[in-house]
Amino acid sequence: MAGPFTREDFENLVPADKKLDPAWVKSLLERGSRTVYRWPESRLIGLPIGGLCAGQLYLGGDGRLWHWDIFNQHIGTGAEHYAKPMEPRSPLEQGFALRVVAGGLAQVRALDHTGWRDVTFNGEYPLGFVEYRDPDAPVSVSLEAFSPFIPLNVLDSSLPATVMRFTVKNTSAQPVEVELAGWLENAVCLHSGQSRDVLRRNRLVRRAGLLALECSAEPMPEDQVSPKRPDILFDDFERSTYDSWTGEGKAFGTGPIEMDKMPDYQGKVGGQGRRVVNSHATAPGHDVAAKDAATGTLTSRPFTIERNYITFLIGGGAHQGRTCVNLLVDGQVVLSATGRNDNRMAPHTWDVRRWAGRTAQIQVVDRETGSWGNIGLDHIVFTDQPRRDLGPLAEESDFGTMTLALWKASPEDLAAVALPDPRVPAGIFSQNAADRSPTATRPFGQKLLGALTRKWSLAPGASGEAVFFITWHFPNLRMDRLPPGRHYATRFASALAVAEHLAQRYPELRELTHRWHDTWYDSTLPYWFLDRTFLNTSILATSTCHRFANGRFWGWEGVGCCHGTCGHVWQYAQAVARLFPELKRDTRERVDFGLALQKDGAIHFRAEFNDIPAVDGQAGTILRALREHQMSTDDSWLKRNWPAIRRATEWLIAKDGDGDGLIEGNQHNTLDTDWFGPVAWLSGMYLAALRAAEEMARVVGDDAFARRCREIFERGQRKLVAELFDGEYFINKPDPRHLDAINSGTGCHIDQVLGQSWAWQVGLGRVLPEKETVSALRSLWRYNFTPDVGPYRQRYKPGRWYAMPGEGGLLMCTFPRKDWDYAQAKGKGPEWAAGYFNECMNGFEYQVAGHMIAEGLVQEGLAVTRMVHDRYHAARRNPWNEVECGDHYARSMASYGVFLAACGYEYDGPRGRLGFAPRLTPEHFKCAFTTAEGWGSFSQQIGQGVLRARVELRYGRLRLSTLALRLPAGISGHTVTATVAGEATAVRVERTGGRLEVQFAPACQLEAGQALEVRVAGKAGA
């Protein structure tokens, strides 16, 4: 991709000459072809394949479903999955398999990598395609997997469901008998069942063309529950030494710690009595990092397992195998529990019935030296009564239903409610003695699996199709301080109801999902670019995103970390507002300009979860308000929210103090600390927000406020350039009163012109002057873009890993000037926050990439985007999981903004204005677009003195008063004709600079299937 490099190239750690391989550069712009991964290269793939805000289910690289985070368990993740990608793992048994009889010989093949020599994967979100081939098989199988996904249609895109559509083709020269089976383990109460008496039930339902296996659970009938023996308290740690426990390492000190003597920042750990085990509090060292760095183990004396359960309180880090409590039987770890990156301990229960009578030991482990490198433990009890205070089973977080269903089932399709042998796939086919009765029950602990099968006789060349649905319904989402319940549960009573709804609407929902997919990929833009800029939209279909029963949308930054649809993180994510604008309007109105808005206009950027505003988040939210307005059909949303938007703007103006357009004082921001002094990045965001507020003020008729914003903006624009442009790029000036504060100073910081990047996203034009802005972007390319981060990170060690040595990226902040370096930049602040300077974080990189493309640095912008794409090649890690401080990190949805920049897309719904200015191949260009009520395809061709543009609506409707285009060189635009749905239509034309506005009065209205065509001619200079 780049090189060869010599030592000298890295003299400044980031080479000025990137030495990019010409073939790699060429591939940035080439259309290319669909991205197909072949097993085992596809091993780490996990394509989110459920509906929006419905949990997190992955489609694996061989078509197996995995992860299954649908049980409301609140899985915590951190930065670790970049360097160590998650291994495919499934907490339940589910799969599909094929039995083929040809020429009297039967073969059984699982539909995964074990069953076929050639398994290929193509993921084009929201669709996943898997192909199974084997020279020894008389058939081939194609899988198409998806959950309905239709932009602008939140409800139809939010089903807790996955469609698995298989096509089996006879590729041999003789007839074959084929049976395709799908199986599902009843995993209801997957976790809570370990600590209470649960009976699982499978039921077969045949109705309305659906054959469904419904999985549910219920309390065990009283007469089947075995009597309880008294509890045995194994250890409560209420003494100053560990006594019979054997310790190793330093982390655990000499004995259990008194909770009163633990560091205050650990908070209340919630132990029983006075003392607990805590490998942070007892570790040597005087700061968080030193204490986390200590390691050790504690191992109990051997004991006999003589109760059904072991219960204990556990807290601390969530590192599997590294901050954990283990159960050892015969010296082997048979069970392991971790904390949840939370010092507060929570009860945990192990079901140990399998090892009754055996000798065991408990081992407490801290092998983690980094963040959350500690484990807490207290109150170990052996019991038959796993947890006290058990509420009703129906209130457990993992209580609900699951369904495996076969669409358009015929009486020949067979079902087994309980397989005689849980070994799969051998036991699943119809010749086996499965239980064919309509219901079956099993106590928790005994596997209960059901199966559905379809048979065909296929002549040579013939195909058969089977469409399976997997649906789930786990309504008991509960999160601290947040409204309860899952939104999907307000629409459906059970997983079966979801399956029935899907069965009724399947052809339509599949067609619409394909229609969007085809519209997206029906483009002149490169395949890799379309893949990467859209695939982060799948973050909506992961546990990063939730929608509560009351309709409120809520997001982590990344799965399980950190809280509160964080304003300064989510403001980078451009995808949701353009695809599902109602979710964003609601979040602005209900949260940012609702419960998070303070009297003085400050917006608490984590709403319920913090009490401070962030300068960048605040400015970004004002800019987002303009975008949300632009994605509306009329002014009503803006009018309703204007008083709050104005108040939020006033808060920023107050931070400016003297009204010179530069913010002073403390400036909290997305790098998680307060910066001081005039900061180009933050004051630039402020200027962009002033422009957005000015535009909105004009719409609602608040002209005085519009003028005030304009005046400050104009002063600020001049002053920002005069004070902070150093001739090459924008810098910050330390505040003499806060010289100890973190400050990138004369470093080259990734977000220095973010305000202008934002301005392009919402059609605000220039916030910062062109010459200086382009120079800043060129500096980012020169000083921050490296084809190999290795040498830089060798020198600058702090920071997390989002690009490994050998991988390239755009560094957050480098220090090209002699007067300022990393050591000064970090001030007296904590190393972790300064460590951000040395990282490559995708969301920021996308922001810059889109901005580069918008300003004409197309190759550079594509290279930055492609470098992220290459880092996430399936051979390295899951392409569908961009990691920051958590999986599926929301900021990565900035990638959609790169796409918009490539199209030069502009839209203002209430004004009926749509515009394009393609930055790639404008002479022959095609892309998808969305608007407030419809989406479709835009294309333009330039040749022989004529520009032809076409807006084809494929879904919904579109009201258009103005179509804006960029006039190519040589075409004046004096002759413009237009047709709407084939009818010639009169237009007015306005030309400003290189911009052409084609105006319709009255506005034209397109319905799905209709197109608007414009022909622009006229010789320039004529």
Q: Would you tell me which residues interact with Ca ion (CB under 5 A)?
A: 236-237, 271-273, 275, 292, 366, 368, 373, 378, 656-658, 660, 662
Of residues 272 and 397, the one with the C-beta less far from Ca ion: 272
Of residues 115 and 339, the one with the C-beta less far from Ca ion: 339
We find the least distance from the C-beta atom of residue 339 to Ca ion, in angstroms, to be 12
Sequence-distant (6+) residues with CB within 8 A of 923 are: 941, 942, 943, 968
Closest residue to bound Ca ion by CB? 373
**Side chain identity at 545, as an amino acid letter?**
C
The phi, psi pair for 734, rounded to 5°, reads -60, 145
Which residue is listed with tokens 């353009």? 578
Q: Beta 913-915 vs 946-966: how paired, if at all? A: parallel
Of residues 248 and 990, the one with the C-beta less far from Ca ion: 248
We find the least distance from the C-beta atom of residue 626 to Ca ion, in angstroms, to be 23
We find the least distance from the C-beta atom of residue 231 to Ca ion, in angstroms, to be 15
Of residues 662 and 854, the one with the C-beta less far from Ca ion: 662
We find the least distance from the C-beta atom of residue 646 to Ca ion, in angstroms, to be 19
We find the least distance from the C-beta atom of residue 716 to Ca ion, in angstroms, to be 8
We find the least distance from the C-beta atom of residue 736 to Ca ion, in angstroms, to be 15
We find the least distance from the C-beta atom of residue 536 to Ca ion, in angstroms, to be 33
CA-to-CA distance for 304 and 325, rounded, in angstroms? 18
We find the least distance from the C-beta atom of residue 312 to Ca ion, in angstroms, to be 10
Angle at 410 between CA 408 and CA 414, to 5 degrees: 110
Of residues 273 and 994, the one with the C-beta less far from Ca ion: 273
Of residues 144 and 258, the one with the C-beta less far from Ca ion: 258
* CA nearest to 266, candidates 342, 152, 331: 342
Of residues 271 and 827, the one with the C-beta less far from Ca ion: 271
We find the least distance from the C-beta atom of residue 291 to Ca ion, in angstroms, to be 7
Q: Write the CA distances from 252 to 59, 248, 299, integer angstroms.
A: 41, 8, 11
**Side chain identity at 359, as an amino acid letter?**
T
Contact between residue 876 and residue 806 where contact means Cβ atoms under 8 Å apart: no
We find the least distance from the C-beta atom of residue 365 to Ca ion, in angstroms, to be 10
Of residues 660 and 933, the one with the C-beta less far from Ca ion: 660
The phi, psi pair for 344, rounded to 5°, reads -65, 125
Handedness of CA 814, 817, 821, 827 (dihedral sign): negative
Of residues 255 and 464, the one with the C-beta less far from Ca ion: 255
We find the least distance from the C-beta atom of residue 11 to Ca ion, in angstroms, to be 37
Contact between residue 183 and residue 111 where contact means Cβ atoms under 8 Å apart: no
Of residues 596 and 652, the one with the C-beta less far from Ca ion: 652
- The dihedral formed by the CA atoms of 247, 250, 253 and 258, expressed in degrees to the nearest 10: -110
Contact between residue 61 and residue 37 where contact means Cβ atoms under 8 Å apart: yes
Of residues 31 and 239, the one with the C-beta less far from Ca ion: 239
- The dihedral formed by the CA atoms of 891, 896, 898 and 899, expressed in degrees to the nearest 10: 170
The phi, psi pair for 169, rounded to 5°, reads -120, 135
Read off the tokens for 933. 């009520």
We find the least distance from the C-beta atom of residue 838 to Ca ion, in angstroms, to be 23
**DSSP structure string for 232-275:** EEEE---SSS-TT-EEEESTTTTSPEEGGGS-GGG-----SSSE
Of residues 47 and 720, the one with the C-beta less far from Ca ion: 720
Helices 842-854 and 770-779 pack at an angle, to 10 degrees, of 140
We find the least distance from the C-beta atom of residue 695 to Ca ion, in angstroms, to be 22
* CA nearest to 159, candidates 169, 168, 146: 146
CA-to-CA distance for 502 and 406, rounded, in angstroms? 11
* CA nearest to 199, candidates 162, 224, 182: 224
Of residues 283 and 903, the one with the C-beta less far from Ca ion: 283
Of residues 693 and 976, the one with the C-beta less far from Ca ion: 693
**Side chain identity at 1015, as an amino acid letter?**
R
We find the least distance from the C-beta atom of residue 649 to Ca ion, in angstroms, to be 15
Helix (H) or strand (E) holding 476: none
CA 175 to mean position of chain CA atoms:
46
We find the least distance from the C-beta atom of residue 804 to Ca ion, in angstroms, to be 23
Contact between residue 856 and residue 778 where contact means Cβ atoms under 8 Å apart: no
We find the least distance from the C-beta atom of residue 660 to Ca ion, in angstroms, to be 4
CA 69 to mean position of chain CA atoms:
14
* CA nearest to 516, candidates 8, 879, 1008: 1008
We find the least distance from the C-beta atom of residue 236 to Ca ion, in angstroms, to be 4
Radius of gyration of the chain (CA): 30
CA-to-CA distance for 354 and 336, rounded, in angstroms? 15
Of residues 573 and 662, the one with the C-beta less far from Ca ion: 662
Sequence-distant (6+) residues with CB within 8 A of 484 are: 476, 477, 478, 548, 549
CA-to-CA distance for 822 and 493, rounded, in angstroms? 57
Of residues 116 and 372, the one with the C-beta less far from Ca ion: 372
Q: Beta 105-110 vs 332-338: how paired, if at all? A: unpaired
Handedness of CA 681, 687, 693, 696 (dihedral sign): negative
Of residues 412 and 600, the one with the C-beta less far from Ca ion: 600
Of residues 322 and 871, the one with the C-beta less far from Ca ion: 322
Handedness of CA 616, 619, 625, 627 (dihedral sign): negative
Residue 413 carries which DSSP code?
S
We find the least distance from the C-beta atom of residue 794 to Ca ion, in angstroms, to be 25
